[in-house]
Structure 1
Amino acid sequence: MRKLTYYISQSIDGFIAAPDGGFEHLMPFVDVHKWIVAEYPETLPAFIHEAMGVDGPPRVFDTVIMGRATYEPGVEAGHVSPYPHLRQYVVTSTITESLSPDVTLVAGDPLETVRALKAEDGDMGIWLAGGATLAGALFDEIDELVLKTYPIISRSGIPLFYGDFEPRRFTPKETLRFDDGGSVTRYVRT
């Protein structure tokens, strides 16, 4: 069975974006970006692949699922298919017609969609790109977390998850620390 990985950036106090959804404050860390290019290049949007030296097929994921708020900043910048090298799903109740034939809209229950994707044959993973509302809705299906943590305290913003209090244990499998203060930790569901 394929696994769903919540692969996301966060501040050290657990926020994935500013209150307005911006995430520029989590971007200036060169060492982590070099690691992303080497290990998870498919998670970079296609329009920056050439500038980042990304070429070749996906390594870890062949599918991305994201919420509307995660998708819309790219649309506003003219990128209606940010990851054409992956199967793209956008969970939304407000966008009623796909802006690209490469993007599948999910208007119903995202759990049903993710369970169907996980049941498919293959060993490539499914990337949950965000955001907090979708991560909360898919909480029971998340098999792994890959948290890119930056040495910034946000104090408020969009948290890693929205949802009810429901503690769930994950086991840390590896942590990489970078000279610029960033780190990446991979957790699996216990």
Structure 2
Amino acid sequence: MRTLTYYVGASLDGFIADPDGGLGAFPISPEVVDHIAGEYPETLPGQAREQLGLSGPGRHFDTVVQGRGSYALALDAGVTSPYPHLKQYVVTSTLRIEDPDVTVIPSDPVGAIRALKQQDGGGIYLAGGGNLAGQLLGEIDELIVKVYPVVLGGGIPLFGTGFSPTSLTSSTHRLLADGTAVLSYQL
């Protein structure tokens, strides 16, 4: 069975984006870029992969699932297929997506993920956002969070759920030279 991994960056106070969904407050150092390019190159959008000279299949994932807000970041940049190297799914009931390389999940994201996990293939990368991660919490097998050395004070939370204590089991941790911690947990 395939696994769903929520691979995401967050501030020390648990936000994955500023209140408007922007990512500009996160300090992306050469150490972070090297880590992502070396360990999780398929999580980089197509344009970033091109700039870094990355090609070929991913190491962990062959599919990406993202929410409307995360996908809107690509649309704002004029990109309709942000991860052309992966099978792409967007959970939205409000956006009309015309790109044939992007499949819309209009409702029941939990059922859709359960179906995807039953199919043959590699891992499934949950690219965001926090609201979708909250809905899919029971389906997430692994959480990998890059904790950046910054406090936002507000924004989009890592999990957009109400009070819902969920125990995790720590699997690995790594501290990058810039102070970013990469923490992995099994759910």
Specify the code of the residue in structure 2 equivalent to 1:47: Q
**TM-fit CA distance, 1:150:** 0.5
Other-structure match for 1:114: 113
Distance in 2 separating the partners of 1:177 and 1:79: 33
**TM-fit CA distance, 1:28:** 2.4
Other-structure match for 2:98: 99
Structure 1 unaligned spans of 5+: none
* Deviation sequence 1:90-138 (CA, Å, 0-9, x none): 0011113x2210000111110111000111123x210110011101111
Distance in 1 separating the partners of 2:166 and 2:59: 28
CA contact (8 A) 1:32 1:183 kept: no
Q: TM-score, normalised by structure 1?
A: 0.95
Other-structure match for 1:145: 143
Q: How many residue pairs get matched? A: 187
Specify the code of the residue in structure 2 equivalent to 1:54: L
Distance in 1 separating the partners of 2:75 and 2:98: 9
Q: TM-score, normalised by structure 2?
A: 0.97
Other-structure match for 2:45: 45
Aligned to 2:73, the other structure's residue is in SS state helix
Other-structure match for 1:72: 72
Among all aligned residue pairs of Structure 1 and Structure 2, give the percentage whose two residues are the same amino acid: 50
Which shows bigger deviation, 47-56 or 83-92?
47-56
**TM-fit CA distance, 1:27:** 4.0
**TM-fit CA distance, 1:53:** 2.5
* Deviation sequence 1:68-98 (CA, Å, 0-9, x none): 00001111111100001101000011113x2
> RMSD value over aligned CA atoms?
1.0
Distance in 1 separating the partners of 2:43 and 2:28: 17
CA contact (8 A) 1:31 1:180 kept: yes
Change (3 A) 1:27 1:80: farther
Other-structure match for 2:15: 15
Structure 2 unaligned spans of 5+: none
Aligned to 2:25, the other structure's residue is in SS state helix
Residue 28 in structure 1 maps to residue 28 in structure 2? yes
Distance in 1 separating the partners of 2:28 and 2:36: 13
Specify the code of the residue in structure 2 equivalent to 1:121: D
Aligned to 1:59, the other structure's residue is in SS state coil
**TM-fit CA distance, 1:29:** 2.0
Specify the code of the residue in structure 2 equivalent to 1:30: P
